Amino acid sequence: METEYQVRSAYRNEWDDAMALAWRTFLKFEADVYTPEGVKNFQNFITDSTLHRMFVMGAYQMFVALDGEKIVGMVTLRGDVHISLLFVEEKYHRQGIGRNLIRHLCDYLRTKGQASRVTVNASPYGVGFYHKLGFKDLGPEEQKDGIIYTPMEFIL
For range 83-91, the mean pLDDT: 96
Query: In the structure, what pLDDT confidence band is assigned to residue 5 with cuts at 50, 70 and 90?
Result: confident
Tell me how far apart the alpha carbons of residues 78 and 60 are, in angstroms, rounded to a whole number: 6
pLDDT of residue 2: 54
25-79 pLDDT tens trace? 999 999 998 999 999 999 999 999 999 999 999 899 999 999 999 999 999 999 8
Percent of the chain with pLDDT over 70: 97
- Supply φ then ψ for residue 148, to 5 degrees: -100, 130
Kind and range of the H or E run holding 82: strand 82-88
Tell me how far apart the alpha carbons of residues 20 and 47 are, in angstroms, rounded to a whole number: 10
Q: Give SS3 for 42.
A: helix
Other Cβ atoms less than 10 A from the Cβ of 97: the count is 26
Contact 83, 69 (CB under 8 A): no
The model carries a pTM of: 0.93
Angle between helix 36-46 and helix 15-29 axes, rounded to 10 deg = 170
140-149 pLDDT tens trace? 999 999 999 9
In order of their start, the domains of the chain are: 6-155 (3.40.630.30)
Tell me how far apart the alpha carbons of residues 107 and 89 are, in angstroms, rounded to a whole number: 23
Kind and range of the H or E run holding 121: strand 117-122
